[in-house]
Amino acid sequence: GCARMADDSTADSHPRELIEMIGRQTDAGGRELTCGLYLTRTGYEVRAEYSDGEVLRTQWAMDTQGGRIIANRWVDELGLERTR
């Protein structure tokens, strides 16, 4: 009972740790769009998402180098400002 419920809640929360923020931009409505490379429990993930939680794009990467390549391409495609 208890143990299984605890497992379910961790499965829902998908902790992710930011490795590197690649680009960001604030739109006319004040929403910030960020593109970054994250480490999750299941691997490296590139995410482009709005500050209000709306996810624009997400893609898995083999490693940090591959993730940076994807993220840099997205920054160009989306017209974001580079943060580095």
- Integer Cα distance of 74 and 19 in angstroms: 16
Tens of pLDDT, residue by residue, the chain (84 residues): 555 444 444 445 668 999 999 999 998 889 999 999 999 999 999 999 999 999 999 999 999 999 999 999 999 999 999 997
Question: What's the pLDDT at 2?
Answer: 52
Amino acid, single-letter form, for residue 53:
G
Question: What's the pLDDT at 24?
Answer: 97
Q: Secondary structure of the chain: what % helix, strand, coil (to 5)? A: 30, 45, 25
Question: What's the pLDDT at 28?
Answer: 87
Question: What's the pLDDT at 73?
Answer: 98
